[in-house]
Chain A
Amino acid sequence: MDWKILGRNDRLYVTQFEEETNLRAMVVCDASRSMAWTGSPETVLPKLAYAQRLIAALSLVLLRQRDATGLITFDDDVRTVLPPRARLSHWRQLLATLGALEAGMGTAAEPALRRVVNQLRRRGLVVFVSDLLLDRDLALKALRFLRHRGHQVLVLHLMDPGEVLLGGPVEARFEDPETRAAVVLRPRDWAAPYRDTVRAVVREWKLACRRHGIAYHRVTTDTPYGVVLREALAPSSRTA
Chain B
Amino acid sequence: MIGFLHPWALAGLAAAAIPLLLHLLARREPPTVVFPAVRYLITTTREHQRRLKLQHLLLLLFRTALIVALVLSAAGPTLPRRGVAGHAPSALVLVVDNSPSSGVVVAGTSRLSQIQAAARQVLARATPDDALWLLAADGVPRRGDRQALLDQVGTLPLSSRRLDLGAALGLAGEILAGEARPGEIALLTDLQASAVSPAELHVPLVVGRPDGPPPPNVGIARLETGPQPWSADGGRLTVSLVGDSGAGTPVTARLGTRPPRQALARVGGGAVLVMPGVPPGWWDADAELDPDELRLDDRRVGVVRVAAVARVNWDSASRFVAAACEVLESNRRIARGSEVTLGRLARGSSIVQPPEDPAALGALNRALASRGVTWRYGSPLIEPATTDSGALLGRVRVFRRYQLQTAQSGRTGVLATVNGAPWLVRSADVVLLGSRLEPAWTDLPVSAGFMPFMDALVNRLARGEVSLADGAPGDPVALPDLVSEVRQGERDWHVEGGGVFRPGEPGAYYLVAGDDTVGAITANIDPRESLLAPATDAQARRLWKDARLVSLDEVADAVFSGAARGDLRGPLLWLALVLALAETALASLWRRQAR
> Chain B residue with minimal CB distance to A160?
B36
User: Are A197 and B30 in touch, CB under 8 angstroms?
Assistant: no
Assess A181 versus B39: contact at CB under 8 Å? Given A171-B30, A190-B44, A197-B44.
Answer: yes
Contact with B along A157-183 (1 / 0, CB 8 A): 000100100101101111111110111
Assess A193 versus B38: contact at CB under 8 Å? Given A169-B33, A173-B32, A175-B32.
Answer: no
**Considering the complex, which residues of chain B in the window 555-595 have a beta carbon less than 8 Å from any beta carbon of chain A?**
591, 593-595
The 8 Å CB contact of B41, one of A34, A160, A179, A194, is A194
User: Are B38 and A176 in touch, CB under 8 angstroms?
Assistant: yes
The 8 Å CB contact of A192, one of B30, B33, B37, B594, is B594
Asked whether A133 is an interface residue with its Cβ less than 8 Å from the other chain, the reply is yes
Asked whether B360 is an interface residue with its Cβ less than 8 Å from the other chain, the reply is no
> Chain B residue with minimal CB distance to A173?
B32
Assess A185 versus B40: contact at CB under 8 Å? Given A192-B595, A197-B47.
Answer: no
User: Are B43 and A197 in touch, CB under 8 angstroms?
Assistant: yes
The 8 Å CB contact of A183, one of B41, B48, B52, B594, is B41
Q: How far is the CA of A131 from the CA of B48 in the complex (A)?
A: 24
Asked whether A189 is an interface residue with its Cβ less than 8 Å from the other chain, the reply is yes
User: Are A183 and B38 in touch, CB under 8 angstroms?
Assistant: yes
Assess A193 versus B47: contact at CB under 8 Å? Given A175-B38, A183-B38.
Answer: yes
Assess A176 versus B39: contact at CB under 8 Å? Given A183-B45, A193-B44.
Answer: yes
> In whole Å, how far is B35's beta carbon from the nearest beta carbon of chain A?
4
Q: How far is the CA of A196 from the CA of B41 in the complex (A)?
A: 11
Q: How far is the CA of A198 from the CA of B38 in the complex (A)?
A: 11
Asked whether A207 is an interface residue with its Cβ less than 8 Å from the other chain, the reply is no
User: Are A172 and B32 in touch, CB under 8 angstroms?
Assistant: yes
Asked whether A227 is an interface residue with its Cβ less than 8 Å from the other chain, the reply is no
- A37 contact set on B, CB distance < 8 A: 34-36
User: Are B36 and A163 in touch, CB under 8 angstroms?
Assistant: yes
- A133 contact set on B, CB distance < 8 A: 36-37, 39
- B32 contact set on A, CB distance < 8 A: 172-175, 182
Q: What is A's interface to B at a CB cutoff of 8 Å?
A: 33-34, 37, 131, 133, 160, 163, 166, 168-169, 171-179, 181-185, 188-194, 196-198, 201
Asked whether B106 is an interface residue with its Cβ less than 8 Å from the other chain, the reply is no
User: Are A172 and B44 in touch, CB under 8 angstroms?
Assistant: no
> Chain B residue with minimal CB distance to A188?
B594
Q: What is the predominant secondary structure among interface residues of chain A facing chain B?
A: mixed
- B41 contact set on A, CB distance < 8 A: 166, 174, 183, 185, 190, 194, 197
Q: What is the predominant secondary structure among interface residues of chain B facing chain A?
A: helix
Contact with A along B310-341 (1 / 0, CB 8 A): 00000000000000000000000000000000
Query: What would 17 A/B residue contacts be, using CB atoms closer than 8 Å?
Result: A33-B36, A37-B34, A131-B36, A133-B36, A163-B40, A168-B33, A169-B33, A173-B29, A173-B32, A174-B35, A185-B41, A189-B594, A190-B594, A194-B44, A197-B41, A197-B44, A201-B40
5 further A-B contacts with Cβ under 8 Å, apart from A163-B36, A174-B38, A175-B35, are A133-B39, A181-B39, A183-B38, A191-B595, A197-B40
User: Are A178 and B36 in touch, CB under 8 angstroms?
Assistant: yes
- B35 contact set on A, CB distance < 8 A: 37, 163, 168, 174-176
Q: What is B's interface to A at a CB cutoff of 8 Å?
A: 26, 29-45, 47-48, 52, 591, 593-595
A-B contacts counted at CB < 8 A amount to 93
Best-buried of B35, B36, B52 by chain A (most CB within 10 Å):
B36
> In whole Å, how far is B59's beta carbon from the nearest beta carbon of chain A?
11
> Chain B residue with minimal CB distance to A172?
B33
Assess A163 versus B37: contact at CB under 8 Å? Given A169-B31, A175-B32, A190-B48.
Answer: yes
> In whole Å, how far is B525's beta carbon from the nearest beta carbon of chain A?
84
- B39 contact set on A, CB distance < 8 A: 133, 176, 181
User: Are A173 and B31 in touch, CB under 8 angstroms?
Assistant: yes
- B33 contact set on A, CB distance < 8 A: 168-169, 172-175
Q: How far is the CA of A97 from the CA of B131 in the complex (A)?
A: 94
The 5 tightest CB contacts between A and B, nearest first, are A34-B36, A176-B38, A174-B35, A171-B30, A197-B44
Q: How far is the CA of A79 from the CA of B107 in the complex (A)?
A: 120
Q: How far is the CA of A196 from the CA of B34 in the complex (A)?
A: 21
- B31 contact set on A, CB distance < 8 A: 169, 172-173
- B45 contact set on A, CB distance < 8 A: 183, 185, 190
> Chain B residue with minimal CB distance to A177?
B34
User: Are B42 and A181 in touch, CB under 8 angstroms?
Assistant: yes
Q: How far is the CA of A190 from the CA of B37 in the complex (A)?
A: 14
> In whole Å, how far is A178's beta carbon from the nearest beta carbon of chain B?
7
- A185 contact set on B, CB distance < 8 A: 41, 45
- B38 contact set on A, CB distance < 8 A: 174-176, 179, 181-183
Q: How far is the CA of A34 from the CA of B40 in the complex (A)?
A: 13
User: Are B594 and A191 in touch, CB under 8 angstroms?
Assistant: yes
- B29 contact set on A, CB distance < 8 A: 173
- B44 contact set on A, CB distance < 8 A: 190, 193-194, 196-197
Q: How far is the CA of A166 from the CA of B41 in the complex (A)?
A: 9
User: Are A198 and B594 in touch, CB under 8 angstroms?
Assistant: no
> Chain B residue with minimal CB distance to A176?
B38
- B594 contact set on A, CB distance < 8 A: 188-193
> Chain A residue with minimal CB distance to B26?
A171
User: Are B30 and A183 in touch, CB under 8 angstroms?
Assistant: no
- A196 contact set on B, CB distance < 8 A: 44
> Chain A residue with minimal CB distance to B42?
A183
> In whole Å, how far is A189's beta carbon from the nearest beta carbon of chain B?
5
> In whole Å, how far is A50's beta carbon from the nearest beta carbon of chain B?
14
> Chain A residue with minimal CB distance to B592?
A192
- A192 contact set on B, CB distance < 8 A: 593-595
The 8 Å CB contact of B48, one of A34, A177, A193, A198, is A193
> Chain A residue with minimal CB distance to B594?
A192
User: Are A173 and B595 in touch, CB under 8 angstroms?
Assistant: no
Q: How far is the CA of A188 from the CA of B588 in the complex (A)?
A: 12
> In whole Å, how far is A49's beta carbon from the nearest beta carbon of chain B?
14
- B52 contact set on A, CB distance < 8 A: 189-190
Best-buried of A194, A196, A197 by chain B (most CB within 10 Å):
A197
- A194 contact set on B, CB distance < 8 A: 40-41, 44
- B48 contact set on A, CB distance < 8 A: 190, 193
User: Are A175 and B34 in touch, CB under 8 angstroms?
Assistant: yes
> In whole Å, how far is A171's beta carbon from the nearest beta carbon of chain B?
4
- B37 contact set on A, CB distance < 8 A: 133, 163, 198
Q: How far is the CA of A142 from the CA of B585 in the complex (A)?
A: 50
- A174 contact set on B, CB distance < 8 A: 32-33, 35, 38, 41
> In whole Å, how far is A218's beta carbon from the nearest beta carbon of chain B?
13
Assess A176 versus B36: contact at CB under 8 Å? Given A184-B30, A197-B47.
Answer: yes
The 8 Å CB contact of A198, one of B40, B42, B47, is B40
Best-buried of A160, A193, A196 by chain B (most CB within 10 Å):
A193
Q: How far is the CA of A190 from the CA of B590 in the complex (A)?
A: 11
User: Are A172 and B36 in touch, CB under 8 angstroms?
Assistant: no
> In whole Å, how far is B34's beta carbon from the nearest beta carbon of chain A?
5
- A172 contact set on B, CB distance < 8 A: 30-33
- A179 contact set on B, CB distance < 8 A: 38
Q: How far is the CA of A130 from the CA of B594 in the complex (A)?
A: 29
- A191 contact set on B, CB distance < 8 A: 594-595
Q: How far is the CA of A203 from the CA of B301 in the complex (A)?
A: 114
